[in-house]
Amino acid sequence: MLGKVIRTTPSAAGLLLLLSAAPPLHAQETCCRTEGLVMAERYRVEGLDERRFTHEEYWKVLDPALHSGRLQVTRLGESIQGRAINAVAAGSGPTTVLLWSQMHGDESTATMSLADLMNWLATAPETDILRRELTDSLTIVMIPMLNPDGAELFVRENAMGVDINRDARRTATPEGRILKGVRDSVQADFGFNLHDQGIHTAGEDGPLVAIALLAPAADEERSWGPVRQRARGVAAVIAEALKPDLGGRMARYDDAFAPRAFGDNMQAWGTSTVLIESGILADDPQKQELRRLQVVALLSALHAIANHRYEDPSTTAYDDLPMNRSVDYQLLVLGGDLVIGDADPIRADLAIRYDDSAARTGPRYGEIGDLADAVALDTLDATGLFIHADPDEDGVIRKGAPAAFTVRHGPEADSETARRCSAPTVVGTLGPPDGNRNLEMRIESWPRPARSMSAPAWTSRKWTTR
Cis previous bond, 424, omega within 30: yes
Contact 297, 238 (CB under 8 A): yes
**Left if phi > 0, otherwise alpha if psi is -120 to 50, otherwise beta: which for 103?**
alpha
Instruction: Tell me how far apart the alpha carbons of residues 67 and 347 are, in angstroms, rounded to a whole number.
Output: 64
Residue 460 has a pLDDT of 55
Instruction: Tell me how far apart the alpha carbons of residues 148 and 71 are, in angstroms, rounded to a whole number.
Output: 21
Instruction: Tell me how far apart the alpha carbons of residues 402 and 314 are, in angstroms, rounded to a whole number.
Output: 48
- DSSP-derived 3-state class of residue 424: coil
Contact 337, 346 (CB under 8 A): yes
Q: Which residues pair with 205 in a beta bridge?
A: none
Residue 14 has a pLDDT of 30
Residue 457 has a pLDDT of 56
Instruction: Tell me how far apart the alpha carbons of residues 243 and 252 are, in angstroms, rounded to a whole number.
Output: 13
Residue 448 has a pLDDT of 33
- DSSP-derived 3-state class of residue 130: helix
Residue 394 has a pLDDT of 87
Q: What number of H helices and E strands is found in the chain? A: 10, 22
Residue 100 has a pLDDT of 99
What DSSP state is assigned to residue 413?
T
Spans of the chain, pLDDT less than 70: 1-30, 422-466
Residue 195 C-alpha from the chain's centroid: 5
Instruction: Tell me how far apart the alpha carbons of residues 323 and 317 are, in angstroms, rounded to a whole number.
Output: 13
Backbone angles phi, psi at 452, to 5 degrees: -160, 165
What's at 119, amino acid-wise?
Answer: N
Residue 466 has a pLDDT of 32
Contact 58, 111 (CB under 8 A): yes
141 CB neighbour count, 10 Å cutoff:
25
Instruction: Tell me how far apart the alpha carbons of residues 241 and 112 are, in angstroms, rounded to a whole number.
Output: 20
| Complete domains list, the chain, with CATH | 5-326 (3.40.630.10), 329-460 (2.30.40.10)
Polymer length in residues for the chain: 466
Q: What is the model's pTM?
A: 0.83
